[in-house]
Amino acid sequence: MADRREWKTRKIGVSIGRLTYIPPGSGELYYLMLLLNYQKGCCNYDSIKTVNGFIHQTYKEACYVIGLLVDDKEFIDAITEFSDLASEIQLRILFVTLLLMNIMSRPYEVWNKI
């Protein structure tokens, strides 16, 4: 009987446990942590990615729809402003630098808007 494990509802309090710090550069793991802090009553991975009845492909998309991530307007504006002064190679280097820093929430959309 010691091998049998089952889920039991907490009798005192509502906290299940603590989440450790995950840096933003960790990708999907970071977005999963954000959703776990926001979503309530999730019982599987698909329910964590479900927002307004729609199951998103990635945790990042779900975070963006909920509004946990800001848009990348400041990056689009910076690259557009920089394009007046820089060459094409310098613009590519700037974009790659932003990619390597992993601070844009939707780099594909930034690329398509510039």
Residue 49 and residue 7 share a domain = yes
Residue 1 has pLDDT above 60, yes or no: no
Per-residue pLDDT tens over the stretch 30-80: 889 889 888 888 888 889 999 988 999 999 889 888 888 777 787 888 888
Could you list the residue range(s) of the whole structural domain that residue 89 is in?
A: 73-113
Residue 102 and residue 54 share a domain = no
The Cα 67–Cα 5 span in angstroms is 37
Position 55 scores a pLDDT of 92
Residue 45 and residue 24 share a domain = yes
The number of domains in the chain is 2
Residue 29 and residue 17 share a domain = yes
Most distant pair of Cα atoms in the chain: their distance: 72
Residue 92 and residue 47 share a domain = no
Highest mean pLDDT of the ranges 7-16, 53-62, 82-91, 97-106: 53-62
The Cα 8–Cα 40 span in angstroms is 17
